[in-house]
Structure 1
Amino acid sequence: MSDYDYDLFVIGAGSGGVRAARVSAAHGAKVAVAEEYRVGGTCVIRGCVPKKLLVYGAHFAEDLQDARRFGWDVPDCTFNWPVLRDNVLADVDRLNGLYTQTLDNHGVEIIHERATIAGPHEVRLASGRTLTAKYILVAVGAWPMVPDCEGAEYGITSNEVFHLETMPRRVVIAGGGYIANEFAGIFHEFGAHVTIVNRSDTILRGYDEQIRDRLLQISMMKGIDFRFNAPFEKVVKKDDGSLTVHMKGCDPIDCDVLLFATGRKPKTEGLGLENAAVELDGQGAIKVDDYSQSTCPSIYAVGDVTNRVQLTPVAIREGQAFADTVFDNNPHTVDYNCIPSAVFSHPPMAGVGMTEAEARNTLGSIKVYTSDFRAMKNVLAGRNERGLYKMICNAETGKVVGLHMIGPDAPEILQAAAIAVKAGLTKQAFDDTVALHPSMAEELVLMR
């Protein structure tokens, strides 16, 4: 008989926690998961899945316009936000049920309570009950950050945006990252006037400069406004319920919804980590080694709470590696090199490997190939939006070290191309591949 109630106790039933719990149970461990809200975590409940469904919905605005150029007699259409909102939330319910079913099928006990750490092998539930486990895995994710300014409580975050009662006419979005630019495109296509307010002068920091500049250019051409170097001073709520946003260095902006998309921080506050001497870094993330083990040997952490790479597929890989290492005697780590990423803006961006600036700083001698083109569909539709593909190579070896693109279906195209970059293929390998014509993806093998 074990000295503990469980072999593994997981705090948080998001993507990383669910994968770790399911695989650990499949390896024979007795596993419990505590989740204070819903099974599925940020990605499924309030993140990438419902957001992507909104992106799909938003695309119809332009598709319906373009259809007329392709011979379709499309009448003037109106958008019904409650219909899309309720359908998206219903799909979230469906996924919540599937994730719950997956854990049940693997014999994982689900405890619908908040759990905190009471000791190296001990967790305390909100009901006051205390349970013990040989290992504890923290997978509570991250939480949206809100600026510290007067009236900030009148804004919303990505947690609440999916539940809006009505579609606002005027939206101010604070931030310059992927969440800000994705929701800017969504709200704009739904008919709102959108203003992005950023405290710096750069959007999408970390992405290739030429690609993000193209998105800025297209976004402004569509009618999205930008205010740079404009930190928040205060937010005032008026009698009619609308807001006035005051910023340093520019005129106030009136809006109906203020969305804070100013980053996410690990959700470690109040978790009781000090009770097990678990150390945090300067951003409040749990410090872990390559095997996701914290400074307390019995406590591990995966996903956004470690602040390594805040991406759902990475959390899943970390959860899998943890379970295999601890419960299958198969130690292995996650390879964080060449992780592809995407921004589901309008149009979307995607990239893998080094940006041009990173490659110049790291390798010195590089060759950059680009293809700047207008997609065939946009030509016939009379839409002047141009795509841009960019390949960055080591000048000495010809190895492709970075691939970045913006244009229709860029994330779908990049996923396959990322395999080539990860495998270390050369520009010659792309040149030797026959083009698939006519397609946008053929530009990858035609760059000279």
Structure 2
Amino acid sequence: MSDYDYDLFVIGAGSGGTRASRVAAAHGAKVAVAEEYRVGGTCVIRGCVPKKLLVYGAHFAEDLKDAKRFGWQVPDECEFDWKTLRDNVMEEVDRINGAYTDTLESQGVEIIHQRATVSGPNEVTLADGTKKTAGKILIAVGAHPSVPTCPGHEHGITSNEAFHLEAVPKRVLIAGAGYIANEFAGIFHQLGAHVILINRTKEILRGYDQAIRDRLLQISLMKGLEFRFDATFEGIEKGEDGCLTVSMSGHEPVTVDLVMFATGRVPNTEGLGLETAGVELDEKGAVKVDEDNRSSCDSIFAVGDVTNRVQLTPVAIREGQAFADTFFGDKPTRVDYGCIPAAVFSHPPLAGVGMTESEAKQKLGSVRVYSSDFRPMKNVLAGRDERALYKMVCDGETDRVVGIHMIGPDCAEIIQAAAVCVKAGLTKAQFDETVALHPTMAEELVLMR
């Protein structure tokens, strides 16, 4: 018999915590998971799932216009009801929340709907004061949106609140230029809002290939989105009419109906009691962990966004699986962080895997870059000038494909298969030897010159 109440106590039932909980339980461990909000975490409840559904909904704005060129008799002015989309999205969130809950319960995991904090190396304290002990504690509490401390910041919202708006605002200012900012910029724009993005630097989507993000900026400007670079928030004033006037450095003030902060995410470690067990945090408040997800306290582990390694849902899931298999399944496993594919569900979407051209030149020296710059067949018939761009980055000495980057319709779907090729170390010659599937967007992967 164990000297503890549980073999594993998980704090946070998001993607990483849920996977670790159910897999550890399947291996025979006695597991409890504490969740103060809803099972499913950021991705399911207020992140990638509802966001992607909004992207689908927003895309009909262009699809309905394009449909005329394909013979459909579509009215010039189509009515859009935001509340219908919003409520249907939230209904789907509820369904997935229930599915996650059922999965945990079917594996025998005890779900505790309370906030839990660490009160010792093997002890947690629930919000009602109850104390529980466990052989191992897993921190999987994720992260939350960062909000600037400028005067009037309380008048802005974050992506958390964007899913629950009463109406689509006519004028939106989004602070930030990362994937969340560009995705919501596309959503709001397609739903009829005038969108302004402001950023502290001159770059959008830092970390993605330069040519791909330049193409997104070009297309976004062509669509009517407005960008203000080298701009720092100075303050927000709310007028009697409810409108918000935003002051910023280097630019004239602007008045909008909604301000949204998309300026990064902060690990949820504040007030978690980790100091009681000697758990070390980095300068951003993230839990420091080793390759086996172990913190500076031998009995406490962490996975997902709270570690600030790679803030992506599939990574958190992999980390949770690896943790459970290693410590409860006698299958030592470590996550390989190389060649992680990533996508931005902007309008149009972009995606990439492996090294960018700049990274490859710095690391390899000799590189060869192949590309395809073309107008998708659908855009041709629809009368749209919008072009797609694919890039393949290869090691100049070995011909090995070290990176693939693209922007255009369906690129997020295509990059998943491409990631397997990059991960496997295939060469450009092997891509060339593969017969193209015509007519498709994906065929450009084997036709690049």
| TM-score bucket (shorter structure) | over 0.9
Q: How does 1:21-420 map to 2 (within 5 A)?
A: 21-75=21-75, 76-420=77-421
* AA partner of residue 103 (structure 2): T
Shift of 1:338: 0.2
Shift of 1:10: 0.2
* AA partner of residue 48 (structure 2): C
The separation in 2 between residues aligned to 1:346 and 1:25, in whole angstroms, is: 41
**1:346-396 deviations in whole A, cap 9, x for unaligned?**
000000000000000000000000100000000000000000000000011
**1:236-281 deviations in whole A, cap 9, x for unaligned?**
0011111011001101111111000000011100000000000001
SS at match of 1:160: helix
Q: Any gaps of 5 or more consecutive residues in structure 2?
A: none
SS at match of 2:105: helix
The separation in 2 between residues aligned to 1:429 and 1:148, in whole angstroms, is: 52
The separation in 2 between residues aligned to 1:9 and 1:277, in whole angstroms, is: 18
**1:296-344 deviations in whole A, cap 9, x for unaligned?**
0000000000001000000000000000000011111000000000000
The separation in 1 between residues aligned to 2:312 and 2:128, in whole angstroms, is: 32
The separation in 1 between residues aligned to 2:116 and 2:205, in whole angstroms, is: 35
* AA partner of residue 125 (structure 1): L
The separation in 2 between residues aligned to 1:253 and 1:375, in whole angstroms, is: 36
**1:154-194 deviations in whole A, cap 9, x for unaligned?**
00001110000111000000001000000000000000000
**1:13-59 deviations in whole A, cap 9, x for unaligned?**
00000000000000000000000000000000000000000000011
SS at match of 2:160: coil
The residue aligned with 2:9 is 9
The two structures have a TM-score, normalised by structure 1, of 1.00
The separation in 1 between residues aligned to 2:201 and 2:151, in whole angstroms, is: 20
The separation in 2 between residues aligned to 1:283 and 1:77, in whole angstroms, is: 46
The two structures have a TM-score, normalised by structure 2, of 0.99
Shift of 1:2: 1.2
The separation in 1 between residues aligned to 2:340 and 2:99, in whole angstroms, is: 27
The separation in 1 between residues aligned to 2:308 and 2:234, in whole angstroms, is: 28
- How large is the RMSD of aligned CA atoms in angstroms? 0.4
The separation in 2 between residues aligned to 1:84 and 1:381, in whole angstroms, is: 26
SS at match of 1:163: coil
The size of the alignment, in residue pairs, is 448
Quick check: 39-48 or 248-257, which moved more? 248-257
The separation in 2 between residues aligned to 1:342 and 1:330, in whole angstroms, is: 31
Q: Any gaps of 5 or more consecutive residues in structure 1?
A: none
SS at match of 2:32: strand
The separation in 1 between residues aligned to 2:34 and 2:85, in whole angstroms, is: 31
* AA partner of residue 234 (structure 2): E
**1:51-96 deviations in whole A, cap 9, x for unaligned?**
0000000110000000000000011201110000000001100010
SS at match of 2:117: strand
* AA partner of residue 212 (structure 1): R
The separation in 1 between residues aligned to 2:117 and 2:241, in whole angstroms, is: 42
